[in-house]
Chains A and B, each alone.
Chain A
Amino acid sequence: MLTIKVKYCGGCNPEINRVGLVESLKEEIEKKGLRVNFVGQDSENADLLLLVNGCRHACLEEQYLPFENGQSVISIEGEALNGEHIPQEAIPAILAEKIIDLAQGNDKN
């Protein structure tokens, strides 16, 4: 089972619903039949660190990119992934695909 540690930015003025987006991501992953354990930011071990930034400034990236202790990191930057604008409602499906690729060891990044 894949363990994903979720780290939220401080949420000063987010352009997305950060918690809602993670909930939608969980549903997407579940629909695709992958078993994932989402853990909080204080957990020690995880296969993947998910940074949930509320806007393009992406405060968390300054602290955590590119890797935290060799962990893979995915960063949501408001309505963007890897600098590309993506509407909030499309992000969970795209992320779920990416996470499945990671779990299967064929991530292109």
Chain B
Amino acid sequence: MMMNGKEYIESLRELNPEVYFFGKRIKSVVDEPMFLPHINTAAMTYELAHRPEYQEIMTATSHLNGEKINRFTHIHQSIDDLVKKVRMMRLLGQKTGTCFQRCVGLDGLNAVYVTTYDIDQKHGTNYHERFKAWLKEVQEKDLMPSGAMTDARGDRSLRPHQQKNKDTYLHIKERLDDGIIVSGVKAHITGAINSHEILTMPTRTMGEEDKDFALSFAIPSDTKGVTFVFSRQTNDTRRLDSPLDAGNPKYGIVGGEAIIIFKDVFVPWERVFMAGEYDFTNELVETFAGYHRSNYGGCKVGLADVVIGGSYWIADAHGISRASHIIDKLTEMIAMAETCWSCTLACSYEGYKTPSGAYHINPLLANVVKLNITRMVYEWMRLAQDIAGGKIITLPSELDLENPEIGKIIEECFVGKEGFSTSDIIKMLRLIENMSVGAGLPEAMHGAGSPAAQKIMIARRGNIERKVELAKSVAGIKRDRDFEKIVGKDEETYWREVKERIRQGHVAEKS
């Protein structure tokens, strides 16, 4: 049964995860003001699935039981599904202006689905059926799993088994008849504290000696031995000061990341999807990264839509919306955003069917999407700051605005064109500050992998050899059969004749 936004929030009350923030144990995730904006954003992924005007994108038909499900629990069954996935990302970015967290789990579901099928084909294991049984539960209960991939990683020049502290990577400590005991630390896991389940995946390609680190499983978030430490973000405590100061008080800033500590956690075999198959770690990591990197041309473009709208509104409020330099900047922002959107659509349309039956995006284009995002988000946010002006970093607090002695004077300072209230102008400036100054920028840089990771994939899949052949053909170094068909003779004869004609022409001119 698909939950709506309220039902999702209430469903979190049934869990009792061990969460820490500011050095204190948080008793109720749902009632903690620091967490609420992130929970509201995730709730949007549930709420829109119930709205007729969004259902075509937000829902899908389960290939497991034919039921209507939230698309965030769906395994992509076609190119159309891949396209609708990124349309969903843009829509949710537009609706919240921030990270809605649930795509990580979605990409984890699809990546593990694809990889477990391939592991079973090679090793005769039954991970895929186990995974499908858990997936069915996720779909039927409309659960939100966090996708826990990145390990703490320790000394990055060392492989996992070489680490002095083995807990820098999540690993198997013991294999039992009924399951495994695991320990280790996952870092900056989006939406972790407000997810029902944790789906773990290895963070990198593993060798044979790392096989205890080649690990994937799913457990409920409040499993014994699991502890979350919620991360800080720029200006995060402003939401405790006043809604206006927070910038985007309803939905927050980036995804609400957390460290997840696993201390001697028992995982029953039916929830283990990889346990030592190091030869499939590369496939799982690359498949997940491909899905996830393709999303960024959807969600971040949705955020761009919001910040472009906000920038125009502020320019209008300031009476400069028709100034040529403002129009030029807004046009640049739109062009960059739509370039990223085009890339992510192409990446979906160029997808393909995997042996598991699930569809995968084009990995080269997915990495290009993400690499563009690491640059262009900074650029369109820079332009937003440019248009909004210095006020976004010098505004007084909401409490000063409410002060009877000085509030009125401050309000008059920030008045704009007739028809725009000071309070609305400040709200919009705070939103632009939130989106363009804070944690959203490095999130665009490092989320789904840093630029170097994308460049490795692009170099690997760029097919330079073929490009060399193309250049050699056009330059005349390599035989060009198409050209020979056009001119009706081999190239050597053709150019000999051309040279002869040139020589005769020159001789005729001179004589």
Chain A interfacial positions (CB closer than 8 Å to B): 14-15, 17, 55-58, 61, 77, 82-84
Whole-angstrom distance between the Cβ of B263 and the nearest chain A Cβ: 39
Which listed segment binds A: B303-311, B346-354, B417-425? B346-354
Q: Establish whether residues A83 and B353, one from each chain, have CB atoms under 8 Å apart when the complex forms.
A: yes
**Residue count of chain B within 8 Å CB distance of chain A:** 9
Which residues of A sit under 8 angstroms from B362, Cβ to Cβ? Answer: 56-57
Q: Is the interface of B mostly helix, strand, loop or mixed?
A: loop
Q: Which of A15, A57, A84 contacts B463 (CB 8 A)?
A: A15
Instruction: Give 21 pairs: A residue, B residue, CB < 8 Å, sorted on A.
Output: A14-B466, A15-B463, A15-B466, A17-B466, A55-B350, A55-B352, A56-B352, A56-B362, A57-B350, A57-B351, A57-B352, A57-B362, A58-B352, A58-B353, A61-B353, A77-B352, A83-B352, A83-B353, A83-B354, A83-B355, A84-B355
Which residues of B sit under 8 angstroms from A77, Cβ to Cβ? Answer: 352
A53 and B505 CA atoms in complex are apart in Å by 47
Q: Establish whether residues A82 and B355, one from each chain, have CB atoms under 8 Å apart when the complex forms.
A: yes
A77 and B350 CA atoms in complex are apart in Å by 12
Residue of B nearest to A19 (CB): B481
A55 and B463 CA atoms in complex are apart in Å by 11
A21 and B463 CA atoms in complex are apart in Å by 16
| 1/0 contact string of B336-362 vs chain A (CB within 8 Å) | 000000000000001111110000001
Whole-angstrom distance between the Cβ of A54 and the nearest chain B Cβ: 10
Which residues of A sit under 8 angstroms from B463, Cβ to Cβ? Answer: 15
Which residues of A sit under 8 angstroms from B350, Cβ to Cβ? Answer: 55, 57
Which residues of B sit under 8 angstroms from A58, Cβ to Cβ? Answer: 352-353
Which residues of B sit under 8 angstroms from A55, Cβ to Cβ? Answer: 350, 352
A83 and B359 CA atoms in complex are apart in Å by 11
Which residues of A sit under 8 angstroms from B354, Cβ to Cβ? Answer: 83
Between B351, B352, B355, B466, the greatest number of chain A beta carbons within 10 A of the residue's beta carbon is seen for B352
Which residues of B sit under 8 angstroms from A61, Cβ to Cβ? Answer: 353
A84 and B354 CA atoms in complex are apart in Å by 8
Which residues of B sit under 8 angstroms from A83, Cβ to Cβ? Answer: 352-355
| 1/0 contact string of B83-97 vs chain A (CB within 8 Å) | 000000000000000
Residue of B nearest to A12 (CB): B350
Whole-angstrom distance between the Cβ of B354 and the nearest chain A Cβ: 5
Which residues of A sit under 8 angstroms from B466, Cβ to Cβ? Answer: 14-15, 17
Residue of A nearest to B353 (CB): A83
A61 and B353 CA atoms in complex are apart in Å by 10
Which residues of A sit under 8 angstroms from B353, Cβ to Cβ? Answer: 58, 61, 83
Residue of B nearest to A61 (CB): B353
| 1/0 contact string of B351-385 vs chain A (CB within 8 Å) | 11111000000100000000000000000000000
Closest 10 CB pairs of A and B: A83-B355, A56-B352, A57-B350, A57-B352, A15-B463, A83-B354, A58-B352, A83-B353, A84-B355, A82-B355
Residue of A nearest to B363 (CB): A56
Residue of B nearest to A82 (CB): B355
Known pairs A57-B350, A61-B353. 15 more at Cβ < 8 A?
Answer: A14-B466, A15-B463, A15-B466, A17-B466, A55-B350, A55-B352, A56-B352, A57-B351, A57-B352, A58-B353, A77-B352, A82-B355, A83-B352, A83-B354, A84-B355
